Structure 1
Amino acid sequence: MRWFSIVAIAVVVSLVGCSSPDDVPAISSTESRAESPDRVQRVRDDIDAAVASGVSGVIATLTENGETTTLAAGVGDRATGVPIPAEPPQQVRVGSVSKSFIAAIVLQLVTEGRIQLDEPIDTYLPGSIVGDSVDGRVITVRQILQHRSGLPEFADSPEIDEYGAALDGRTFTPDDQLAIALRRPAQFAPGARFTYTNTNYLLAAMLVERITGRPYTDALQDRIIRPLGLTGTYLPATGEHDIRGPHPRGYAPINGIRTDVTRIEPSVPWAAGALVSTGDDLNRYFLDLVAGKVVAAPELQQMLAALPTGVDGMPEYGLGVMSAELSCGTSYMAILTRALCP
């Protein structure tokens, strides 16, 4: 089975008041020796099309046979109109890609015999998951990693606003987030179906902390970031609103107005979505992951054993990763913006 890694991140999205294509700078790119020029061109065409459609900027990092190519299109700051540079590697908030890192650490702990996937979460976090039709004694660790727990979604609550929290100086603890989630009833009985829910990975990171006896950031650093040499990857601390390294600005519509939302409060998404990384680092991580350098083979097989989600347009979901197989036999992880056959 062949894996080809492309990480493409639409880093500066403008859905309101978009410029015309003529107002957006042409693609800026750097290229190392590429094994598949046609594939690189197709990705280049894709990101140019994204910018033409109104996305302010895109960075795409392609790695194949040990060679990496970085492409960039559009602007990294709408105020200045400066194009996104392809080099040095740009740091961006990678959102729910963060969940794969949590799942990998949990599976490392499974390998070590410290967690069992089919054990109830209450075994490890006793008495913590109790609410309206919510009972941690009948929700397994595997169901949490698969988004099949039925737990309510903390991110549905109005106070969960990472941009607004940064403006107001509000912060959250994982216990705060869990309490917010448990105000709501369960979405369904454990195992009944798939529903993507951030609360699952909030709990998974809390599980890592309980088992290791250390902050999640320490486990992340010691188990993945440092061993793999991911020099551009980190989980921001509570109150750390800015991105540390070179980065583009990020925009989103708020009340119909395109707003710079680059600065956020990272304790809101926390481990489930606040990770900062680069395309280079993410490609290294995912290629090392499927090569068995992050998670041991038996647990990696379970991680990649994806089930149908029952959601139109959504690939199958394993443990912290989506995946699918193309008609040409190439497998890909669905965090990738485009999967290309050789």
Structure 2
Amino acid sequence: MTNARTHTALTTAVLTALMLGPTAQAAYATSASPAAASVGPSASVSAGAPRTPSPGPDVAALEAALVGIPDGDVSAALVRVGGVGTWKGTAGVRDRRTHAPALENARFRAGSTTKVVTASLVLQLVAEGKVDLDTPVSHYLPGLLPASFTELPTVRHLLTFTSGLQAGPGLGSTTEEMYANRFRTLTPQEVVAGAVAKGPAAAPGTRQKYQNIDYTVLGLLIEGVTGDRYAHQAQQRVLRPLGMRHTGFPVGGDPRIHGPHNRAYADIGGRTRDVTEWNMSDRWAAGDMVSTTADLERLLVGLFQGRVVPEYLLDQMLTVPDLDGAQYGMGLQRFRYNNTEIWGKTGSRPGYHTVLAATRDLSRTVVYSVNAKSAREDGFPLVARFALPAFNR
């Protein structure tokens, strides 16, 4: 799960970067031929030739972002930039103890970028006529809401974070508390039951509040409508068709990341702790996906090309409710940078920070995974360092 400050980090980063002025946003034209450079003792980057005459990403800033890794915060960084001109970079170490180089193809906890998959699954069911966006969710999940809900949230409300539900129970509010409970299991049913027992926080459709509970309920809706497990539906409908062969979901409360991965760290009680093994069952359809940067790039490209949901529903997915302060469509956040509209999603768990973002026309995409102690804090410095340079031009 990413906290509220991190989930607004993309917008905050944009505003801050704009205030920094042209020096901080200096453009860099990539070479017409492929280039490679060494960035520190454990880093490697490569830049592909851009399609002339269109400019490519700010390679100088992207390369500079990797200098000095590992440092006191970041142990590994994996960055992929696509669209008009491609670039990718890997820096840091796989393990702070052995100092083995970071793996470019590493799997990582993708956090709340999981919500993009969940929203896509629901919209596929809408396209098939099995779900209606403006029907109350309780129609598909009878008995979900107690009598205290006199106004019923619809599927659309859940997708756009306007349901008015209260947050469900968790396994701690701080990293320290969660670390102590990292091998415990909290089922989606327990999370939802605890949330609805509190009654509504607001009338549906009256305000947008980013939180996990809406997408946890949507996970249950997917299972209720299909009669199948959420993870299997994700594999069949999204991951496999897009060739996302290295993306999946933990089975039960399995705390491990299977396959190649870089270790993750967080400061716990004043000490640096390895937080790679962690039971993420309480995040489920809202945030427990394990993926790679290459696979998340496939998700972005496939989604925006209309290969995941039909174009008319993609238009709805990328529509922000007309509410004061609203920033999210369905699973994706809208913001502007350099007069360009960008859609993105952050995801963070202790030790892991992830971003995927793209322009609607796919002229620029960026995906990164950063192993950082600060992953669950204010995500702005990480976004500004590793994502924004991709959109400098």
The equivalent position to 1:55 in structure 2, one of 67, 71, 74, is 74
2:92 alignment counterpart: 74
CA distance in 2, matches of 1:30, 1:180: 47
Preserved contact between residue 235 and residue 271 of structure 1 (Cα < 8 Å): no
Paired residue type of 1:205: G
The residue identity in structure 2 corresponding to 1:127 is G
Identical-pair percentage: 33
Give unmatched runs, 5+ long, in structure 2. Answer: 1-38, 347-356, 358-382
> Alpha-carbon deviation of 1:55?
2.2
Counterpart residue number, 2:365: none
Distance 2:268 2:318 in 1: 37
Contact kept in structure 2, 1:60 and 1:279, CA below 8 Å: yes
Give the superposition deviation at 1:218: 1.1
| Corresponding position of 2:134 | 118
Aligned pair count?
A: 309
1:319 maps to 2:330: yes
Paired residue for 2:228? 214
Which residue is equivalent to 1:289?
303
Task: Tell me the residue number matched to 1:241.
Answer: 255
In 1, the alpha carbon distance for the partners of 2:268 and 2:221 equals 34
Which AA in structure 2 matches 1:240? D
**Per the alignment, in what secondary structure is the counterpart of residue 67 of structure 2?**
helix
Partners of 1:41 and 1:289 lie apart in 2 by 29
Give 1:268 deviation, angstroms. 1.7
Q: Deviations over 1:57-92 (max 9, x none)?
A: 221112225x75331222232222233133xx1111
Gapped runs of 5+ residues in structure 1?
Answer: 1-23
CA drift at 1:180: 2.4
- Equivalence map 1:172-211=2 (5 Å): 172-211=186-225
**Does residue 329 of structure 1 match 2:329?**
no
Counterparts in 2 of 1:75 and 1:183: CA distance versus 1, 3 Å: farther
Q: Select 2:313's aligned residue among 290, 295, 299.
A: 299
> What residue is the counterpart of 2:143 in the other structure?
127
Root mean square deviation of aligned Cα: 2.7
117 and 38 in structure 1: CA distance in 2 versus 1, 3 angstrom threshold: closer
2:153–2:204 contact (8 Å) kept in structure 1: yes
Deviations 1:24-76 (A, max 9, x none): 964512426242665233222234378657322221112225x7533122223
Mapped contact 1:330–1:341 kept (Cα < 8 A): no
| CA displacement at 1:191 relative to structure 2 | 1.6
1:107-147 Cα offsets, whole Å, 9 max, x none, are 0111111111111111111111227x445x61111111111
Distance 1:221 1:162, change over 3 A: farther
Q: Given the two structures, how large is their TM-score scaled by the length of structure 1?
A: 0.81
**Contact 1:91–1:246 (Cα < 8 Å) also in 2:** yes
Counterpart CA distance in 2 for 1:50 and 1:192 is 44
Distance of aligned partners of 1:156 and 1:265 in 2 relative to their CA distance in 1, 3 Å threshold:
closer
Q: 1:328 to 1:27 in 2, by over 3 A?
A: farther
